[in-house]
Amino acid sequence: MRHLLDTKTLAREDALRILDVAEDMADTQQREVKKLPTLRGKTVVNLFFEDSTRTRISFEAAAKRLSADVINFSAKGSSVSKGESLQDTAQTLQAMAADAVVIRHSASGAPRTLATSGWISAGVVNAGDGTHEHPTQALLDAFTIRKRRYGADSRGRDLTGMRVTIVGDILHSRVARSNVWLLHTLGAEVALVAPPTLVPQDVSAWPVRVGYDLDEAVGEGPDALMMLRIQLERMNASYFPNEREYSRRWGLDPERFAALPQSTMVMHPGPMNRGLEICAEAADSPRSTVLDQVTNGVSVRMAALYLLLAGERPAPGADDDAQKEDAR
């Protein structure tokens, strides 16, 4: 694997390989010493043109646990026009001999531009581009669903037969898009529930069922209910009357949460607007996977960086002897 730019074009075998290597990585994270020597001498640059807490520190932790050197480059607030600033920055990174660039950008397509421009030779990982995609988020979500369902028996399995319902601000959500493609590739049935104004126009071309009634969706008792953040910062118009009205119709409130089967997992990529799209009871319940998603994010990003930068070598944990050899 040379780059990780989207899940739309990610092959099933590649997705399963990332999830399986992430299982190996998760096993190594149970040990007292979490650090592996695998990417010693490699440099990973976190290039963030947009705000992020969880995703940036997750990539940082992942790179560091594989012993890579990490450079955090926060390019927010640059006044240069986007194309120019990206090229200039890329050339700087090339001069610093970056081996991988993890990029978050407000422009959809920026990671692909970086990967195909010829400006850099590094592997590129998309950490969220505009409203386009956020592939490692979808991979960590799939990992979380698989792990909750199959536990220690997860390796090699896809999500065939699992029913996943994604709720909320689909229009502005790169998390929703990446999840739709990946879940479909892995065999899950995907349903979307949102106010009509927050459903993208091109949704008819997506492999999903679309509904507008959350009570109906809750009544179906999906295996996973994924609540999305209302992305007020991306809204340049009024998509719903007010927050109370949104919450009343499309929020996972205590009544709807109580109506869900015990077996339904409640997911959210974070950051959560508690009381708006999700109530505290749901977010903090044992059925919530919110913190698992954060933990699993590190393992999945370790897997992605590993496959990009050292893919031809055996995965750590898969072959402990080789790993001990490596550590010497």
**Of 54, 112, 149, 157, which one interacts with ligand NCD (CB under 6 A)?**
54
177 lies in the site for ligand NCD, by CB under 6 A: no
* Residues between 187 and 216 that touch ligand NCD (CB under 6 A): none
Instruction: Confirm if 44 and 71 have CB atoms less than 8 A apart.
Output: yes
List the beta strands (DSSP E) in the chain.
Answer: 43-48, 69-74, 100-105, 123-129, 163-167, 189-193, 209-211, 224-227, 265-267
In sequence order, what E strands does 84-167 have? Answer: 100-105, 123-129, 163-167
Binding status of residue 42 toward ligand NCD by CB under 6 A: no
Please report whether residue 270 would count as binding ligand NCD according to CB under 6 A: yes
269 near ligand NCD (CB under 6 A): yes
**Member of 175, 176, 193, 198 binding ligand NCD (CB under 6 A):** 175
* Number of Cα atoms under 13 Å in the Cβ half of residue 63: 25
Which residues 105-124 are close enough to bind ligand NCD by CB under 6 A?
Answer: none
Nearest CB to ligand NCD, comparing residues 7 and 231: 231
Report the distance separating Cα 219 and Cα 200, nearest Å: 24
CB 101 within 8 A of CB 120: yes
User: Which of 103, 310 has the CB closer to ligand NCD?
Assistant: 103
Closer to ligand NCD by Cβ: residue 65 or 229: 229
Closest to ligand NCD by CB, 1 vs 294, is 294
Rule CB under 6 A: say whether 168 interacts with ligand NCD: no
Q: Between 135-150 and 290-310, two packed helices, what is the crossing angle to 10 degrees?
A: 120
User: Binding residue for ligand NCD (CB under 6 A) from 38, 46, 89, 137?
Assistant: 137
Which residue is closest to ligand NCD by CB?
A: 229
Using omega within 30 degrees of 0 as the cis cutoff, is the peptide bond preceding 271 cis? yes
Distance in angstroms (rounded) separating the CA atoms of residues 170 and 197: 10
Judged by CB under 6 A, which of 146, 163, 184, 229 binds ligand NCD?
229
Q: Which of 109, 252, 115 has its CA nearest to residue 174? A: 109
Binding interface with ligand NCD (CB under 6 A): 54-55, 128, 134, 137, 174-175, 229, 231, 269-270
